[in-house]
Amino acid sequence: MFLSKASHLCVLGVLCLSSVDGLHADGQIKAQVRAAATPAWNKGILPISAESYYHAIECGKQGGDNPACVFWDTDLCKNDDFALTWYTAYKQVAYTVWTAVQRKQPPPQPSYPSAQRTRVTIAIAPVAGSKNTLTDFVVKRGGKPAPPMERSLAAGGGRFTFDYPAFAASASVTLELVGKQRTLSCVIAPAVLRQMR
């Protein structure tokens, strides 16, 4: 749905990764967003508002092959087992505009009511060559699980949908990618959460 130029060969825009930058021996990963995303954003993942809606439209108008403001989640929790792709209301609006700009069409006014209904969905897919099949995905705030609104496992990965408070930038969030062979933990610090859209 939200494909980056680099991920057109992968299903649902999930990047095919091959290195483990940021992966510690204990399976803990430090999350990082793409640098230099413009227009700048420091409010984190929030339900759509008039401010974030028009901000996302400006983001999508940039065009280019792979704008960091649209594809901010590229390599967020980079590892050799799983690739994560995030879907948010902001990304939905920005991606819709970016797609039109890529096709040399006038920037549209994406559906605000549709963006209001959009929650945070994280798609997880096995990286090419990975033998670690996903068996569960847990989001923790303050050491406590934030239960998903919807979840599904398929083809070694899955899709998990959460409401916005699970990713509030007020405290660190830990993503646990539970696999048959090993579990990876990705810690997202508040400073990184604020840059997510």
Average pLDDT over residues 22-45: 82
Q: How far apart are CA 73 and CA 196, in angstroms?
A: 8
Average pLDDT over residues 91-104: 97
pLDDT at residue 24, as a whole number:
45
**What is the tally of structural domains in the chain?**
1
Q: What's the predicted TM-score (pTM) here?
A: 0.84
Mean pLDDT for all residues in the chain: 88
pLDDT digits (tens, 9 = 90+) for 162-178: 999 999 999 999 999 99
Percentage of residues in the chain having pLDDT higher than 70: 87
Domain that holds residue 165: 5-195
pLDDT at residue 26, as a whole number:
55
